[in-house]
Amino acid sequence: MAMANHAANSTVSITDYHQRPGDTFFRCVILAALFIVLCASWKLRVFHGLIHTSRSYGWLGLVAKPSMLWTALGMLMLLFRTVLWFRYRTLPPAQFDDAPSLTVVIPAYNEGQMVSRSIESVVRASYPRERLEILAIDDGSSDDTWQYIEHAAAGHRDLVTTLRFARNRGKRAALEAGFRRARGEVILSGGAIGSPTRTALMPRPRGVGRGSRRRCRSE
């Protein structure tokens, strides 16, 4: 309960990079540079000599025309990316009260004690307990990985669901099995060697996962 109250009162701060010092300066520099390049290309007749030469020597057109087209496309792409950068705005972070249901899939193969640490890390993460689900999958391990999974799940039966393959089928099959059983709006997957920090599950834009299930991957 104490952990939930602390998480509910904590707010993840994600600063919009447009509000950072110097952003306006760099935006003006980029616009000025694009304007200068376009004016210089027109005033200095950069391509006129190339066009004239290609007309005089027909074979040169095979090189000149694709080069000019490539240059024009490059300028258009740069302009398009600049417009997208100007229009981009950082979405507000999700709060503890409106976080969507989340399923964390943890596949493991001969990971031993590491899988137990991964499960415990997710359990201790700052996320609404009633909206969190953990799927721990033993991919046919030949060591004591299954024992560690069962031991970690024993204390959190309301959160942890276990699955064991009779033989090793590969990480892809383990993830597929987890995705098929997942009930969360958002699915996060990662290997057993990954141990997320306490706040790793919460810093995400509000609205992700609403209306359709989204799959994320964390190695």
- pTM greater than the 0.75 cutoff: no
Structure-model confidence comparison of residues 100 and 10, the more confident one: 100
Strand partners, 186: 102, 214
Instruction: Grade residue 210 by pLDDT with cuts at 50, 70 and 90.
Output: very low
93: number of Cβ within 10 Å = 15
pLDDT given for residue 139 in this prediction: 93
CA distances from 204 to 132, 162, 199 (A): 15, 27, 10
pLDDT at position 206 over 60: no
**Alpha-carbon span 121 to 80, nearest angstrom:** 42
Instruction: Say whether 162 sits in a helix, a strand or coil.
Output: strand
The mean of the pLDDT values for the chain is 75
pLDDT (tens digit per residue) in 18-74: 566 667 787 788 778 878 877 777 776 666 666 666 666 666 666 667 777 777 788
CA distance 169 to 163: 13
Residue 132 has pLDDT above 80, yes or no: yes
Q: Which residue has the higher pLDDT, 80 or 53?
A: 80
Distance (Å) of CA 32 to CA 25, 36, 82, 112: 11, 6, 12, 58
Residue 95 burial by Cβ neighbours in a 10 Å radius (0-12, 13-18, 19+): middle
Higher per-residue pLDDT: 104 or 29: 104
* CA gap 109, 144 in Å, rounded: 10
H/E run at residue 105: strand 102-108
Neighbours of 22 (CB within 10 A): 8
Least confident of 20-34, 79-93, 130-144, 184-198: 184-198
pLDDT greater at residue 36 or residue 196:
36
